[in-house]
Amino acid sequence: MITIGCHVSIAGSLAQAVSRAKERTCTTFQIFTSNPRGWKTKPLTEEDAAAFRLAVAESGIAPVVAHMPYLPNPATPRADVREKTVAAIEGEVERCRMLGIPYLVTHLGSSLGSDAAAARERAITAIGRGADASEGEVMILLENTAGTKNSIGTTFEEIAALMEGVGRQGPVGVCFDTCHAFAAGCDLRTAEATDAVVKHLDAVIGLSRLKVIHLNDTISELDGRRDRHEHIGLGRIGVEGIRSVVTHPALHDLPFICETPVDDRRDDYGNIACVRKIAGE
């Protein structure tokens, strides 16, 4: 059985996110631990953390994955944003420690048109501060990007270089997003194409560092450099492509998180059910 889930809301309380995950038949799930669209976060109390941990333990769902908010930019050349970004990463790591969440996914940010090499060094420093703060309890996962203008972390080679730099402060892993990868030029439409991508990832980064897969179809054409998620099987990757990912021997046992739309065509429950059907379950 594959481990499949989606991103769920924490509206009301963090513990309610577990109930929402169960309603959607998740066997893994992802959350923002705080407001994803602002810099200010409501302090996490020991009571809230204990309630969340208990709800997760009773649900049997694992692993739980957290995602960094939208505003932090590890690669930014702006000193004020860089300072707030470092504080946000360190803060999210601490919240994950309190909540017992083992993985924190982060985007690598944008250079905003500045020198790419300098932007990578800034990202290494910012994420490295978070890795140091984790004290081995939370692994930060670097997420591949869709190759949009000025984005950092599009290729496996660039991610490997960032991992090497950050790794001086603590262990880091990878979250592989299928939508982003396809938009950046990784063909995932057939078993043969996906196997080639997996072998490339293994050669450059190492499959042991791959911890989570964001399983998303995409509106973007191959190498279209557009970060546009689509319902499972309804985009350019398609049913056969999704099947090639979830049934690949090197990927099958990893947690899959859907970050797909919710609209009149399909909801989270429908996309999770679709993945299970595609996987032959």
Separation CA 222–CA 147 (nearest Å) = 11
- Exactly one of 95, 214, 236, 243 is catalytic; which is it? 214
pLDDT of residue 54: 98
Q: Report phi then psi at 174, rounded to 5.
A: -130, 140
Which pLDDT belongs to residue 208? Answer: 96
Residue 177 catalytic?
Answer: yes
For residue 143, indicate whether it is catalytic: yes
The DSSP result for 38-101, as a single string, is: -S--PPPPHHHHHHHHHHHHHHT---EEEE--SS--TT-S-HHHHHHHHHHHHHHHHHHHHHT-
Q: Of these residues, 20, 53, 95, 143, which one is catalytic?
A: 143
For the residues of 151-203, what is the DSSP string, one character each? BS--SHHHHHHHHHHHTTTS-EEEEEEHHHHHHTT---SSHHHHHHHHHHHHH
The two structure tokens encoding residue 155: 């290729």
**Amino acid code (one letter) for 29:** F
Grouped pLDDT means (10 residues each) for the chain, 281 residues:
97 97 98 94 95 98 98 97 97 97 97 96 96 93 97 97 87 96 98 98 97 98 97 98 98 98 98 98 92
Give the pLDDT confidence score for residue 107 in this predicted structure.
96
Cα–Cα distance for residue pair 154/170, rounded to 1 Å: 22
d(CA 257, CA 62): 12
Residue 168 confidence (pLDDT): 73
164's CB contacts (< 8 A; 6+ apart) are none
- Interatomic CA distance for residues 81 and 125, integer angstroms: 14
Which residue among 24, 53, 122, 229 is the active-site one? Answer: 229
pLDDT reported for residue 170: 75
Helix (H) or strand (E) holding 273: helix 268-278
- For the chain, the structural domain boundaries read 3-278
Could you tell me how many residues make up the chain? 281
Judge whether 229 counts as a catalytic residue: yes
CATH of 3-278, one of 3.20.20.150, 3.40.50.300, 3.30.413.10, 3.30.390.30: 3.20.20.150
- The pLDDT of residue 169 is 72
| Secondary structure (3-state) at 262 | coil
**Is 200 tagged catalytic?**
no
Question: What local confidence, expressed as pLDDT, does residue 171 receive?
Answer: 83
Q: Are residues 174 and 139 in contact, defined by beta-carbon separation less than 8 angstroms?
A: no
What is the structure's pLDDT at 172? 95
**Dihedrals phi, psi of 7, to nearest 5 degrees:** -85, 130
214 catalytic per annotation: yes
- Which is catalytic among the residues 82, 122, 180, 209? 180
| pTM of the complete model | 0.97
Annotated catalytic, 7? Answer: no
